[in-house]
Amino acid sequence: MRKKVLKIGIIPREDYKKRTIAIARGEYKPKKGEPKVWFESINSMAQVLSSENQKLLKVIDEKKPASLKELEVATGRKSSNLSRTLKTMSRYGIVDLVKHNKSIKPVVKATDFKVEFGINSAVL
């Protein structure tokens, strides 16, 4: 199994807004190796990458379910809960939700996470 590492950064929402505006204006060019995914706090990251959600990613990566229904059976989690969780993970680039026939197939994009943050780590 090949590792897929996702680099995550944590910066306050206000700093993230400033960074995004600077990029849009061409005033700042993200450096190679900078995180592609940003959370505003360790708490918000912990909600998305909770132990339960890490187990979910492992099941998806190992069993490769062809649909949310198969994933529901494999995990015992309700489809509404899975759907909400996977949509959130998809927004952060952790999973892909691939439409296949009339169902949605979850695909893991990241199996490992590298987190960068610090009290003086303003990106700009």
Q: Are strands 95-100 and 103-108 parallel, antiparallel or unpaired?
A: antiparallel
Instruction: Find the distance separating the first CA and the last CA of the chain, reported in whole Å.
Output: 36
In this structure, is residue 124 part of a structural domain?
A: no
> Residue 121: inside a domain, yes or no?
no
User: How many beta carbons lie within 10 A of that of residue 113, not counting itself?
Assistant: 15
Q: If the chain, 124 residues long, is cut into consecutive pieces of 10 residues, what is the mean pLDDT of each piece? A: 85 91 94 90 95 96 94 93 95 93 92 84 53
pLDDT of residue 102: 87
Residue 122 lies in a domain: no
Domain range spanning residue 21? 5-116
Distance of CA 9 to the CA centre of its chain: 11
Are the C-beta atoms of 22 and 122 separated by less than 8 Å?
no
DSSP of 57-91: HHHHHHH--SSHHHHHHHH---HHHHHHHHHHHHH
Query: Does the pTM exceed 0.95?
Result: no
Report the domain count for the chain. Answer: 1
For residue 61, give the CATH number of its domain.
1.10.10.10
Q: What is the pLDDT of residue 4?
A: 86
Judge whether 123 lies within some domain.
no
Distance from CA of residue 72 to its chain's centroid? 20
Residue 3: its pLDDT value, please?
79
The DSSP result for 11-30, as a single string, is --HHHHHHHHHHHHTTS--P
For 75, 96, 115, the CA distances from 70, given in Å and listed in that order, are 9, 16, 31
For residue 65, tell me if it sits in a domain.
Answer: yes
